[in-house]
């Protein structure tokens, strides 16, 4: 009963934190936009085909939007009533665009994060288990190599190298996995290395306990909260990487939509995308820390 009450209390606190972070995050985004030198300028005003009346109409529509903070609160009010607005550049309802694009990004980002985690954590565990300099050097070099390449260049080379029969989604998923992998590997390897140096684990190994047993039954549970906390971060990294990767691979997801909206200066669409990604990242971070707390290592703390 006590445990259930504590869990409910923690879940409510998490929900409150998510809502407040999303609202404040959107406010910061709107505030930073207000500071940008070109806020309120519409590229359509430079279109020579438009006459003076049309340009004035565009300016009047812009001025009705008011300052970005007013625009943000009005936008929140509309969202609360289920109206996500209309994309200025594409001339289509934002809700319709999201319904089209979100599944594509969910598929590739989920696949990429899972593959990146499997490769990164798997290799880190193997390096800790085998403990040979060669494997450490090879895995370290591999992770450093992928850490040093911009995700857009990675996507470009995957597009060049992919056989024509390979689906675009596979290239996008692979590119995201290669962006996530080095971060997971380096962090997990570092944390596991530190945990394995703890006195009781050194003593366990000195007493002849098998390395696998020490690693999987003692070191991994102790390192689990810190490693799991990376879950939210890895999702954030994957979503950020999805912008250049989807743009380069021509994959119709949220990242490509954000890029197109940025090139077309489509502010309402960009704001809703920023809010959407903030919700996903904050929820993932909260879930990761909650799961971390529920692990034996987290509970011990």
Residues in contact with other proteins by CB under 8 A are: 21, 24-25, 28-29, 32-33, 36-39, 41, 43, 46, 137, 140, 144-145, 147-153, 156, 160, 186-187, 189-191, 193-194, 226, 236, 239-240, 243-244, 247-248, 258-259, 261-267, 270-271, 273-274, 277-278, 281-282, 285
Nearest to other proteins of 48, 208 (CB atom): 48
Nearest to other proteins of 193, 221 (CB atom): 193
Rounded-to-integer distance, Cα 200 and Cα 196, Å: 9
As beta bridge partners, residue 93 has 86
Nearest to other proteins of 43, 69 (CB atom): 43
Rounded-to-integer distance, Cα 282 and Cα 217, Å: 30
Question: Cβ of residue 30: shortest distance to other proteins, in angstroms?
Answer: 9
Nearest to other proteins of 216, 259 (CB atom): 259
Q: Is the dihedral of CA 225, 226, 228, 229 positive or negative?
A: positive
Question: Cβ of residue 204: shortest distance to other proteins, in angstroms?
Answer: 22
3-state secondary structure of 164: coil
Q: Are 276 and 254 in contact (CB under 8 A)?
A: yes
Question: Cβ of residue 114: shortest distance to other proteins, in angstroms?
Answer: 20
Q: What's the distance, Cα to Cα, between the start and end of the chain in Å?
A: 21
Rounded-to-integer distance, Cα 110 and Cα 107, Å: 5
Residue 36: left if φ>0, alpha if ψ -120 to 50, beta else—which one? beta
Rounded-to-integer distance, Cα 40 and Cα 63, Å: 8
Nearest to other proteins of 32, 69 (CB atom): 32
């Amino acid at each position: 009963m006590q445990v259930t009450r504590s869990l409910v209390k923690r879940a409510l606190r998490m929900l409150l934190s998510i809502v407040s972070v999303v609202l404040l995050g959107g406010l910061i985004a709107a505030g930073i936009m207000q500071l940008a030198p070109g806020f309120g300028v519409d590229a359509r005003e430079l279109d020579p085909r438009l006459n003076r009346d049309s340009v004035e109409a565009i300016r009047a529509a812009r001025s009705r939007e008011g300052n970005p903070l007013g625009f943000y609160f009005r936008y929140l009010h509309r969202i609360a009533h289920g109206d996500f607005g209309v994309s200025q550049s594409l001339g289509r309802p934002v809700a319709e665009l999201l319904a089209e694009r979100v599944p594509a990004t969910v598929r590739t980002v989920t696949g990429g994060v899972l593959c990146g985690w499997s490769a990164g954590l798997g290799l880190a565990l193997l390096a800790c288990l085998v403990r040979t300099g060669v494997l450490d050097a090879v895995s370290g070099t591999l992770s450093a190599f992928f850490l040093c390449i911009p995700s857009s260049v990675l996507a470009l080379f995957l597009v060049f190298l992919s056989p024509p029969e390979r689906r675009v989604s596979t290239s996008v998923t692979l590119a995201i996995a290669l962006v996530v992998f080095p971060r997971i590997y380096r962090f997990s390897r570092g944390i596991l290395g530190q945990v394995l140096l703890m006195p009781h684990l050194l003593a366990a190994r000195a007493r002849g306990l098998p390395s696998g047993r020490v690693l999987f039954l003692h070191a991994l549970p102790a390192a689990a909260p810190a490693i799991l906390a990376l879950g939210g971060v890895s999702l954030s990294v994957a979503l950020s990487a999805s912008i250049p990767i989807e743009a380069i691979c021509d994959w119709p997801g949220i990242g490509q939509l954000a890029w197109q909206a940025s090139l077309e200066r489509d502010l309402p669409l960009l704001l809703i995308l920023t809010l959407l990604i903030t919700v996903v990242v904050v929820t993932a971070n909260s879930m990761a820390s909650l799961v971390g707390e529920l692990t034996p290592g987290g509970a011990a703390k």
